[in-house]
């Protein structure tokens, strides 16, 4: 059993050492039922999404924010990680989950984070997609099945990584 809200808050604690962190407004809202999944893999996913939002923030904006919202039901968890950072250009967005792919040149980062996210989502039989507007905002949508014992509704036939299929 995983307490998703607690996990998110622990991850936020761990990225607070980042120099920019205190300028960010952070909104967390996760509600709903008990959620069962592989804790380590969920942690990999959320940690990468959240640290990306911090890393690709645009501090020329007066109100930089990250918003993490989730709803857990008997069958699944839908969670989104949104920010109003630098955004991702149209020509890059389909490739951000590829290994070593990076949309812009940065001093840090290897381009492996979202590849690990994609592999972890696959292993948990979930789905992930991303939408963005360059210079404005980015949102990652994550859908994971609730792997509680005896849950026959696990949507195995829906185990598709949206952006990989295009
Ligand atoms: P690392 O391996 O350290 O995570 P990385 O952050 O460069 O390196 P990914 O996490 O795989 O690699 O992300 C791939 C690319 O997608 C990034 O280099 C960045 O260009 C873009 N990206 C990811 N998340 C965001 C975001 N929230 N806002 C804007 N661009 C993003
Ligand atoms: Mg990253």
Res 100: pLDDT = 81
Using DSSP's 3-state secondary structure scheme, residue 15 falls into coil
Check whether 154 has a pLDDT greater than 60. no
List strand residue ranges (DSSP E) for the chain, in order: 25-32, 65-72, 76-83, 127-133, 137-145
Res 146: pLDDT = 93
Ligand 2 is an ion; its neighbours by CB within 5 Å are: 52, 113
Higher pLDDT, 166 or 44: 44
For the CA of 56, the nearest ligand: 1
Res 103: pLDDT = 79
* Backbone angles phi and psi of 73, in degrees to 5: -120, 180
Summarize pLDDT for 53-82 with one digit per residue, the tens. Answer: 999 999 899 999 999 999 999 999 999 999
Res 165: pLDDT = 41
Res 164: pLDDT = 44
Closest ligand 1 atom to residue 116 Cα is 11
């Amino acid at each position: 059993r995983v307490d998703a809200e607690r996990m998110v808050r622990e991850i936020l604690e761990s990225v607070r050492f980042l120099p920019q962190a205190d300028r960010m407004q952070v909104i967390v809202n996760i509600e709903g039922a008990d959620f069962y999944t592989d804790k380590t893999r969920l942690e990999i996913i959320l940690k990468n999404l959240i640290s990306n939002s911090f890393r690709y923030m645009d501090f020329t904006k007066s109100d930089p924010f990250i918003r993490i919202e989730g709803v857990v039901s008997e069958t699944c968890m839908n969670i989104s990680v949104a920010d109003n950072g630098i955004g991702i250009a149209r020509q890059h967005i389909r490739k951000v989950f590829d290994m070593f792919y990076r949309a812009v040149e940065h001093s840090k980062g290897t381009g492996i984070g979202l590849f690990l996210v994609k592999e972890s989502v696959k292993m948990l039989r979930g789905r992930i997609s991303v939408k963005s507007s360059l210079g404005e905002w980015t949102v990652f949508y994550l859908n994971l099945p609730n792997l509680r014992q005896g849950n026959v509704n696990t949507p195995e036939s829906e185990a598709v990584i949206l952006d990989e299929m295009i």
